[in-house]
Amino acid sequence: MTDPKTDDIVQFQALIATFRESIPAFTKMVFNIDLSPKQVELCEAFRLKRMITCAGGIGWGKTLSMSVLTWWALITFDEVQVSLFGPNEGNLRNGLMKEIAQLHGKMIEPFKGMYEVGATRISRKINPASCYAEMRLARAENPDTARGIHQKNNFVMVDESSGVEDEILQILLNIMTDPNPKLMLVSNPSRASGFFFKTHRDTDMAAEWTQVHGTLQDSPNYDPERFRQLVANYGGPTTKQYRVMVNGEFPLDDSDGIIARSHIDTAVLNADVVPSPTIPVIYGLDPAGPGADSSVLCIRHDNRVLAFHDWNGLDGTQLAYKVREIYEKTPKPDRPAVIAVDATGIGHGVYSVLKDWGLPVYSCIFAGTPTRNPEKYSRVRDQLWWEMREWFESENVYIPNMPKLIEELAIPTYEDGSGKIKLQEKKGIKKRLGRSPDFADSLAITFAVSKTRYASKYNWSKPIQYDHLATLE
């Protein structure tokens, strides 16, 4: 005859084992809550991985997921410590800690009676020193709060991670020396820089983390009508707030971007601008060899970008054929006066082939000496991006609403501490962006030969002599 008490213990242990393997089953049985697919994704990442970073918009249940994970850890592990960090005490108390307490109120017995729940700490009544969760503030002026956190099962969750100083997040990496550590960063992606940003966008750093991304549309209560209202409240899809809070995407720039986001937004909305008929069409070609980067051709007529064409995996000759095909299919009155080509590397071969074919090409060396105002710029690349910035600042220009183009224009920063303007190195841009700014570079190249970019502003009306390119150089 079996001992009923022994049978209960065995069944309880089997239940705990089931919970440890299935957080959705745990959540349904203990709280009678069904997790949404995105919430399950985040919980599974936490269950299976050691370093998790979650960037998300509003409304899809980041706080609920973190609260569920806190209880899952406390119920399914012994010798467990859950540290709940955040930069703001009020937000921690009224957000995450409040949600954790509310889940305790929904909890079934016997689990509900096994824990003491306070304002800043939750502990198991039996052996409270070895099984607890507590709130901690993450502030640079008191970094000791992030030190000395060690336990066999050592779980750390950082809410509002985008607002936590890099120093604190770096200190928290020390828990990775424990037997079973987990570090999860969760935040609205409000900054385009810093440790949290890098866990998503820095190529080398992001490889060490498991990324989760959520949007408003991932909400279990998503309602299209409410979505339309939020679009209006956040100012529309081109705004920073919409990008961060609705799409859960990082902003395109911080305050030191070379081109102000407001000017980019204005250019996207300026669909009615009319180019001057006396200003020629210019092509800008940014060639790339076979690989991850794209070769991009930008077609600009005065204050209006007409089109982009992009290709991947082409060698120099193949790319030259593509450009010539576009040129020849274009009616003669609409053909470019100049095809400006970044003639560095593979671009030199493209330039040479197009020149041999008799097309009106111009060699632009991005890394070369500035062709205008050399006392102001470090290289041609800096000069062209700055002149493109001035073009945007006129607020009488149009660019297509292309997410890739907008990102590439908004992300680069610059410095002028040396007395000369210097655009952020392409390597740094690629780390932040996750790719090369090929579309933006091709647009910048269209300024290599045009001294008349403000022709409409200055009412310049002299006809362009298309046969004499020297007048454009």
CA–CA distance, 276 with 407 (Å, rounded to integer) = 28
CA–CA distance, 93 with 91 (Å, rounded to integer) = 6
- Any domain includes 1: no
CA–CA distance, 179 with 195 (Å, rounded to integer) = 24
- Any domain includes 2: no
Same domain (yes/no): 202, 266: no
CB of 68 closer than 8 Å to CB of 43:
yes
Tally of structural domains, the chain: 2
Same domain (yes/no): 305, 219: no
- Any domain includes 252: no
Report DSSP letters for 316-379, one per residue. HHHHHHHHHHHHHHS-GGGS-SEEEEE-STHHHHHHHHHHHTT--EEEE-TTS--SS-TTTBSS
Same domain (yes/no): 280, 241: no
- Any domain includes 395: yes
- Any domain includes 8: no
Same domain (yes/no): 151, 285: no
92: region left, alpha or beta (phi > 0 left; psi from -120 to 50 alpha): alpha
- Any domain includes 117: yes
- Its pTM stands at 0.61
Same domain (yes/no): 211, 76: yes
Same domain (yes/no): 110, 55: yes
438-445 helix and 380-393 helix, angle to the nearest 10 degrees: 90
Residue at a domain's end among 210, 245, 280: 245
Same domain (yes/no): 274, 423: yes
pLDDT tens per residue across all 473 residues of the chain: 455 567 777 888 899 999 999 999 999 999 999 999 999 999 999 999 999 999 999 889 999 999 999 999 999 999 999 999 998 888 899 999 999 999 999 999 999 999 999 999 999 999 999 999 999 998 877 888 888 899 999 999 999 998 898 899 999 999 999 999 999 999 999 887 789 998 998 888 999 999 999 998 998 888 888 777 776 777 666 677 788 888 898 876 655 578 887 788 889 999 999 998 889 999 999 999 777 688 999 999 999 999 999 999 999 999 999 999 999 999 999 999 999 999 998 999 999 999 999 999 999 998 899 989 889 999 999 999 999 999 999 989 999 999 889 989 988 888 876 778 889 888 888 877 778 899 999 999 999 986 544 344 333 334 344 344 444 44
Backbone angles phi, psi at 342, to 5 degrees: -70, 100
Same domain (yes/no): 344, 198: no
Burial class (CB in 10 A: 0-12, 13-18, 19+), 372: middle
Q: What is the domain-level CATH number for residue 451?
A: 3.30.420.240
Domain that holds residue 466: 261-471
DSSP code, position 140: T
- Any domain includes 355: yes
Same domain (yes/no): 350, 383: yes
Residue at a domain's end among 214, 245, 276: 245
Residue at a domain's end among 220, 245, 270: 245
CA–CA distance, 272 with 291 (Å, rounded to integer) = 37
Same domain (yes/no): 74, 188: yes
Same domain (yes/no): 213, 304: no
Cα separations in angstroms, 130 against 107, 113, 173, 180, 206: 21, 17, 21, 14, 32
Q: How many CB atoms lie within 10 A of CB 435?
A: 15
CA–CA distance, 73 with 18 (Å, rounded to integer) = 13
Same domain (yes/no): 360, 331: yes
Q: What is the domain-level CATH number for residue 174?
A: 3.40.50.300
- Any domain includes 416: yes
